[in-house]
């Protein structure tokens, strides 16, 4: 391991490495000799009118969200998570933890299957049915799984919880009597940094048994 971190003395090849790295590593990282530095500072809005962002390609989208039909224009580049959180009212329950499909916090159900909403596009939802955590307790009545999460202390900080709930909801719909190992396998795509994994599995198992304070039955 020490080797891995050794800063070897300057070697022509290493210099080249560094230079080349900078040349090609994307606009945000580019370092290059440039014209004289422009005046830097807070940029005043140009003119009296508010400058708007340039138009990006967009598409008219029709899909179902928690059972209700939605029609709206979406930019093609919007992720599903971005559309839910920023462009619809009241769907902030879906959390974004990494935006790279590495953590699972943004999990929603698309046609019943868990999907990372940070890694799929809103425009691809045409004609599809999306469920979010808001859809689990539509009239404020917690689902049996949510009750089990409460009873078994499955959320610690709670940030991963909506994603864990969505994956577990789909899992129980397909397999109402899973083993603990099936639960772990089915939920392996949802990280919990509080590492409250034991309690989450216990909660899902309890929900499967119908052993929640309000009883089973969806």
Partner 1 sequence: MRAFANRNPRTVQEAVAIVQVARGEGRTAYVAGGGTDLLQLVKDHIPNRPGRGELDVLINLKSVPALDRIEVTPAGGLSLGALVTLTELVEHATVRERFAALAEAASVVATPQIRNVGTVGGNLAQRPWCWYFRNGFPCFKAGGDRCFSAGGENQLHAIFGGGPSYIVHPSDLAPALVALGAMFRITGAAGERMVSASDFFVLPRTDALRENVLADDDVLVGVDVPAPALGTRSTYHKIMDREAWTHALSSAAVVLEMDGDLCRRASVVLGGVAPIPWRVPEAEALLVGRRVTPELAREVGAAAVAGARPLAKNAYKVPLTRSVVERTVLALASRA
Partner 2 sequence: MNPRQAAPQLAPMRTVGHSVPRIDAAERVTGANYTRDFVRLGMLYARLLTSPHPHARILSIDTSRAAALPGVRAIITHQTHPDIVYSSGSIAGGAQYNDAAKDITLHKRFMFNNPVRHVGEPVAAVAAVDRHVAEEAAGLITVEYEQLPFVLDAEEALAPGAPQVWPEGNIGLNGRNEPRPLGGRQGDPDAGFAAAERILEGRYTTAFCQDAQLEPRSVLAVWEGDKLQLYTPTQGISNCRHDNARDLGLEDHQVQIICHYMGGGFGDKNGSYYHDLIAATLAKATGTPVKLELTRKEDWLGTHGRWPTTQDLRVGFTADGTVTAVELRALSGMGPYLRRSGSLSGIDAYACANVDRQIYPVHTNRTVSGNFRAPSEPQGYFPIQSMMDDVAYAVGMDPVDFARRNMRRPSETVRFTNFSLDECIDRGVDLFDWRNRWRPTPGSDAGPIKRGAGFSFMMFRSGVGPSSAILRLDGTTNRYTLFVGVTDIGPGAKTTMALIAAEELGVPLEQVDVVWGDTDRCPYSVGESGSRTTIMTGYAVVEAARDLKRQITERGVPALGDVRIASATPNPSTEGRQRLCFAAHFCEVEVDVQLGHVRVTKFVAVHESGRILNPLPARDQIRGAVLQGISMALREDLLYDGRNGQPLTAGYYGARHLTHLDAPEIEVSFIETDDGYGPFGAKTVGEAGIILSPSAVGNAIYNATGVRMKDLPITRQRILEALA
The entry of partner 1, partner 2, none that residue 123 binds, CB within 5 to 8 Å by partner kind: partner 1
Residue placing its CB nearer to partner 1 in the complex, 107 or 146: 107
* Site stretch for partner 1 (CB under 8 A), options 26-34, 41-49, 87-95, 133-141: 26-34
User: Contacts with partner 1 in 108-137 (CB under 8 A)?
Assistant: 110, 113-116, 119-121, 123-124
Alpha-carbon distances of 88 from 17, 71, 91, 120, 146, rounded to whole Å: 46, 11, 7, 17, 24
Residue placing its CB nearer to partner 1 in the complex, 24 or 37: 24
The entry of partner 1, partner 2, none that residue 59 binds, CB within 5 to 8 Å by partner kind: partner 1
Closest CA to 118 of 100, 134, 133: 100
Cα–Cα dist 181/25, whole Å: 42
| Under 8 Å between Cβ of 164 and 187 | yes
Instruction: Tell me which DSSP letter residue 177 carries.
Output: S
Binding of partner 1 by 15 (CB under 8 A): no
**How would you classify residue 185: left for phi > 0, otherwise alpha for psi between -120 and 50, otherwise beta?**
alpha
Number of other residues whose CB lies within 10 A of the CB of residue 152: 21
Interface residues with partner 1 (CB under 8 A)?
Answer: 3-4, 13, 17, 20-21, 23-29, 54, 56-57, 59, 75-77, 79, 99-102, 104, 107, 110, 113-116, 119-121, 123-124, 167, 185-189
């Amino acid at each position: 391991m020490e080797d891995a971190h050794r800063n070897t003395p300057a070697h022509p090849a290493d210099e080249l490495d560094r230079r080349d790295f900078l040349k090609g590593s994307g606009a945000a990282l580019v370092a290059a000799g440039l014209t004289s530095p422009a005046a830097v500072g807070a940029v005043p809005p140009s003119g009296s009118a508010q400058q708007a962002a340039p138009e990006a390609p967009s598409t008219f989208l029709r899909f179902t969200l928690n059972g209700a039909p939605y029609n709206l224009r979406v930019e093609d580049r919007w992720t599903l998570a971005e559309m839910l959180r920023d462009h619809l009212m009241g769907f902030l329950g879906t959390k974004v933890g990494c935006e790279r499909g590495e953590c699972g916090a943004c999990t929603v159900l698309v046609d019943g299957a868990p999907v990372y909403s940070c890694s799929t596009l809103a425009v691809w939802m045409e004609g599809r049915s999306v469920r979010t955590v808001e859809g689990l307790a539509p009239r404020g009545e917690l689902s049996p799984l949510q009750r089990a999460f409460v009873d078994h202390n499955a959320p610690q900080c709670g940030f991963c919880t909506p994603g864990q709930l969505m994956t577990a909801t789909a899992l129980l719909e397909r397999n109402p009597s899973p083993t603990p190992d099936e639960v772990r396998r089915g939920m392996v795509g949802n990280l919990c940094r509080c590492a409250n994994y034991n309690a989450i599995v216990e909660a899902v198992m309890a929900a499967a048994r119908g052993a929640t304070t309000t009883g089973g039955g969806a």
